[in-house]
Amino acid sequence: MLRSHPLARIMRVGTGVRWMSAYTPPQGDTSTSPRPKKVTIGHLRQLWRTKTPITVLTAYDFPTGRLCEKAGVDITLVGDSLAQVCLGYESTTQLTMDEMIHHCRAVARGSKLPFLVADMPFGSYYSIDEAARNAFRLIREGGVDAVKIEGGKDIIKTVAKLTAIGIPVMGHIGLLPQRHTVFSGYRVQGRLANRAASIVADAFALQSAGVFAIVVEAVPAPLGAYITENLQHVPTIGIGAGKATSGQVLVINDALGVAEWAPKFVRKFGNIGEKAEEGAKAYIQAVRNREFPDNEESYFMAGNEWRKFIHELGGSSTKSTWVDVTSNGEDSSESTASLNDFSLPTLAGFMEEADIVEVDSQESKLEEPISEVSISEEPQPEIPKPEEPKPEEPKPDESKSAESKPVVPPSQQ
């Protein structure tokens, strides 16, 4: 059994059981539920052979990646739709390789069990060498398992090269969002017979090049079913291609009701957008009404400790009116403390008393306090005033005295 395997070590924490892995099974069900494993291409093929629909959701960061794993999807797709969904770009063509790798890393940290696929951004695969270099970056730096490329017969050589050197590739046909300018917008593809035949040819070409799956986007449901039934080795993942495809993919923001607008083929399986807005507005209102945080959401300290704290600051306590609440929800007679109940010294005064002020010069110690509040309750010693200097007596003018004396010639001296 799995639990007897030496690698299936566990440690007990209290009464619960924790598996030594990134995945923690639900408590109380560890004896009967098999340990989840990493989804592989072999697992996806098994689902396809047994006609079990394959589930795919997009993810763009750690929280959505984690959500995909907890929900149990088979494939997590880091779609280039993150350009519009997360980054606010007008189209997917503005997304860069560095931005894609950044988001892939975040998703990979949260979505470890699903098979992880990343879109190759626009312009990153239109030469074989460049495609190989960027695909290697997505796998090595982004941490993904495979890459997805939009196109059909025109990218066969690139797909064949990537699969030949060991890089799994998912194809994408029908509506190609990266080429929306050529298609004059995001329009349903394959409604005309010749265009439908071209899409089918793209699917067979990708199958021969070695893709492990093909996304079929925005085509008539009968065409999606036809492609799925006639491909012999590759499952199809539909998005706006009917329910007969081998699996389905949706943008997670569309599926959970985050986006304000969604295409026709989207069904909202949640209403997170509206609920999130309601929650944000409720938070703002609670803050402005001072209803948040309340006592249960706040931390307290014993009244005697608060008084010690105030004493350390050199403040004086007055009658307190705010009673601290103890852990059992009862008022504590000793826990009475409020910032409004004390006369606090200035911050500058406290820092000087704590001897943590860096004095740049002797003159800075002689600066006057910024507040009239006393720094300490102890009386300050009086500084004696310097004695005023006595006025000096005027000295006699020697020049005048010399002039008043008669000049005696040397001969008479």
Active centre residues (catalytic):
217
- The rounded distance, in Å, linking the Cα atoms of 199 and 226 is 11
Q: What is the 3-state secondary structure (H, E, C) of 175-196?
A: CCHHHCCCCCCCCCCCCCHHHH
* Rg over CA atoms, the chain: 40
CA pair distance 26, 22, nearest whole angstrom: 13
- Running DSSP on this structure, what letter comes out for residue 349? H
Strands (E), 33-143: 54-58, 75-78, 115-119
Question: What b/e string do you get for 114-132 counting C-beta neighbours within 10 Å, with b at 16 or more?
Answer: bbbbbbbbbebbeeeeebb
CB 283 within 8 A of CB 292: yes
* Amino acid residing at 218: A
| Residue 323 in tokens | 């009673």
Long-range contacts for 226-235 (Cβ within 8 Å, ≥24 apart)? 226/200, 227/199, 227/200, 227/203, 230/200, 230/204, 231/203, 231/204, 231/207, 232/207, 233/207, 234/171, 234/203, 234/206, 234/207, 235/44, 235/45, 235/47, 235/48, 235/54
Report CA dihedral (219, 242, 249, 184) to the nearest 10 degrees. 20
Tell me how long the chain is.
Answer: 413
Name the H helices within 217-353.
Answer: 221-230, 252-255, 272-288, 303-313, 347-353
Contact 199, 173 (CB under 8 A): yes
d(CA 2, CA 7): 9
- Rounded alpha-carbon distances, angstroms, from residue 151 to 120, 126, 170: 11, 11, 11
Q: Is the peptide bond before 406 cis (omega within 30 degrees of 0)?
A: no
**Structure tokens, 121:** 């951004």
Phi, psi of 205 (to 5 degrees): -65, -40
Which phi and psi angles does 331 have, rounded to 5°? -75, 140
